[in-house]
Amino acid sequence: MTEGLTKKSTSSHVDEKKDDVLGGRKKKLSPLLKLALELGPLALFFVANNRYGIFAATGVLMAGVVVTLVVSWGVTRHLPAMPLVTAALVLVFGTLTYVLHDETFIKLKVTILYSLFGAGLIGALYFGKLLLPIVFDLAIHIDDEGWRKLTWRWGLFFFFLAGLNEVVRRVVTTDVWVNFKVFGILPLTILFAIAQTPLIMRHEIPPEEENSDTHF
């Protein structure tokens, strides 16, 4: 029985802290709305770049991430860490792009964003912290060993994306880079996430085991 308690996933502790300020369980975005909020700014960025160029597209992206945060907060009264950090960097580097009229900054934002996520996830492990469920706002239930393995994988993957972006942004035109950002990074991330399914299944905690501590 005690062993069952020690095996309990960190995700359950995270979930307990996710009650919203109104006293009930935190409201969730519908899958369709969540997808629209995640992909909408990127799609608008792509369209605006094709029609009006990178500087107009940067403005559209900045407006898009702000709208995303407003809608997310309005529906859930909660802002996940990853969209919040992403929006902050978009606004900072987007402003630099406009003020200095240099598209390098909006490209560099991608490198810095993924480097921060990679360093944050892996660095936190050395302090015994598991940030992945917080960063991704995940509701999966796996044991601590599973979270550690998943954190290492995502951390290294983020470093890979940061390095890949650095190579691409230096050797291709801006239009090609925008295509890479939309049709390269996004599919790679989706495929990588799907590839983690076997790991998640191996370390998944059955609902009956997760709820067993309610009897103590």
Write down the pTM of the prediction: 0.80
Q: Which amino acid is at 82?
A: M
Extents of the domains making up the chain: 2-215
User: What are the per-10-residue average pLDDT scores of the chain (216 residues)?
Assistant: 44 42 57 84 95 96 95 87 91 95 96 96 91 75 90 97 97 96 94 94 76 46
Half-sphere exposure of 122 (CA within 13 A, CB side): 14
Give the pLDDT score at 10.
44
For residue 207, what pLDDT is reported?
66
Strand ranges (E), the chain: none
